[in-house]
Every structure is written in C-alpha cells, then in structure tokens.
Amino acid sequence: EDKVVQSPLSLVVHEGDTVTLNCSYEVTNFRSLLWYKQEKKAPTFLFMLTSSGIEKKSGRLSSILDKKELFSILNITATQTGDSAVYLCAVEANTGNQFYFGTGTSLTVIP
Amino acid sequence: GAVVSQHPSRVICKSGTSVKIECRSLDFQATTMFWYRQFPKQSLMLMATSNEGSKATYEQGVEKDKFLINHASLTLSTLTVTSAHPEDSSFYICSAETGIRETQYFGPGTRLLVL
C-alpha cells in the first residue's frame, strides 16, 4: 500500500529555533516529492525534489531527499512566528500521476 | 489511517462534455471537503469548500455554474466540470477534514484532459 508518513504530528518551538520535519514514503513508481506550507487555504508550494542528495534551499528553508532510505527532511532555521503552519509532504507517482499526501506536521512558533 | 479516494484517477473527454469527479472518505465522516486545482509549478489553488448538506463556498474567480459541487453525504463530494474546454485540463485534488485537529486528508487526484 502506497503511503506517506510525516513526523512529528505537531511541534511547538520558540522563535530562533531550528526545526527538522520528516517525511518518509512507500510509493511505487516514485516520480517526485513535494513540500507545501498550508496556513489557511490552499497549500503553498515550497520544493520539489527528484534526485537524492541534492539540497534545495530557499531562504531559511531547505530540503533534501534520500531515495535509498525513502525519506525527505525539511529544515527551517531561525524560525519566525510567520513560519507557523501545517507543512505537507506529497509524493507524486508516475502511475496515473497520482499524489500521496502525508497528514502534515503542525508547526507553532512562539515569540 | 484515514483514507480519501478519488474516482476516476484520470479521464479524457471531448470539449463540451461534462465530467464528474468523486471524492470519498473511506473510513471516516468528513465534516468538510475541499477541492483544489493544480497549476504549473506545482501550485495548488483552492476552488471551493463544501459542507455536507449545504451549498459550497467558492473562491473568488471560480465559476460556480461551471464547477458544480455536491456534498450529498458525510463521505462523498462530487465535482462536475460542465461543458469542459481544453483550458479546464488539469489535475484536480480533493481533501477531507475530520474536525479532529482539523487534519486534512488528501485524495490522490484526478487528471482531466479535455480534447
């Protein structure tokens, strides 16, 4: 059964802390892994990862994929209150272009 | 864990026809269901929010007469793309919310291609 599992389910940190969010997957015919930030309405796209070991970076956010161990991490350094959101991980499969979403990690950053 | 399914997973239709996409929560009752459309560069646009037994709330710019949403039960919501045109070709994803932790469970998506 194809699935995506995110951990932790929720996380509360103080401003300035660094956090690491995890996403592990078991998906047949893996095509890509995507990270989204969801605050209110639609998830906002953050990263798409297709190759192992190549870090993608955008400001204080970075992500890397390990296709051998079947997981990805999303790092956020020097967290700010505006980083508070649910972070979703999704894996796209080649078969039927299907997406498998995790249930998200709820991050709360306290001032 | 909670599972959301969509049917069909992919559909090809002729321009001018209508297409119905189903979203089902398989092992839980969804208080709210959401419909999204995927745009280039992987962005997701929220189209509408539907609650069982009431009219869907559409986001600005989404034509309610073109994208008909019916939420007939706590486990089923349907999106009908009426008089589909090639520009409606996209990937449509639904999600269902349980109300517990307000966790959203996403379906696998439906690929629509209008010829």
pLDDT in tens, B14-44: 999 999 999 999 988 888 999 999 877 778 8
For residue A103, the chain B residues in CB contact (below 8 A) are: 1-2, 103-105
CB contact under 8 A, B105 and A41: no
Is residue B23 within 8 A of residue B34, CB to CB? The reply is no
Percent of chain A with pLDDT over 90: 82
Percent of chain B with pLDDT over 70: 96
Lowest mean pLDDT among A77-81, A88-92, B24-28: B24-28
Say how far apart CA B70 and CA B51 lie, in whole Å.
Answer: 9
Lowest mean pLDDT among A39-48, A67-76, A85-94: A39-48
User: Per-residue pLDDT averaged across A43-63, rounded?
Assistant: 94
Query: Cα angle vertex A87, ends B100, A100, to 5°?
Result: 80
Confidence band (pLDDT; 50, 70, 90) for B101?
A: low
Smallest CA–CA distance, residue B111 to chain A, in Å, is: 7
Is residue B85 within 8 A of residue B77, CB to CB? The reply is no
CB contact under 8 A, B43 and A96: no
Collapsing DSSP states into helix, strand and coil, what is residue B82? coil
From the list B43, B105, B108, which residue is nearest A103 (CB)?
B105
Rg (CA), chain B: 13
User: Per-residue pLDDT averaged across B103-111, rounded?
Assistant: 89
**Touching check for B113 and chain A: CB below 8 Å?**
no
Task: Look at residue A42 in the predicted model and tell me its pLDDT.
Answer: 80
For residue B58, the chain A residues in CB contact (below 8 A) are: none
Token readout for B56 is 């869907």
Task: Look at residue B1 in the predicted model and tell me its pLDDT.
Answer: 61
Query: Cα angle vertex B106, ends B3, B28, to 5°?
Result: 35
Say how far apart CA B95 and CA B77 lie, in whole Å.
Answer: 10
From the list A45, A100, A104, which residue is nearest B41 (CB)?
A45
From the list A45, A104, A106, which residue is nearest B42 (CB)?
A45
Task: Look at residue B72 in the predicted model and tell me its pLDDT.
Answer: 82
Task: Look at residue A96 in the predicted model and tell me its pLDDT.
Answer: 62
Higher pLDDT pick, A85 / A28? A85
Say how far apart CA A84 and CA B29 lie, in whole Å.
Answer: 27
Task: Look at residue B100 in the predicted model and tell me its pLDDT.
Answer: 65
Collapsing DSSP states into helix, strand and coil, what is residue A55? coil
Mean pLDDT (chain A, rounded): 93
Task: Look at residue A98 in the predicted model and tell me its pLDDT.
Answer: 82
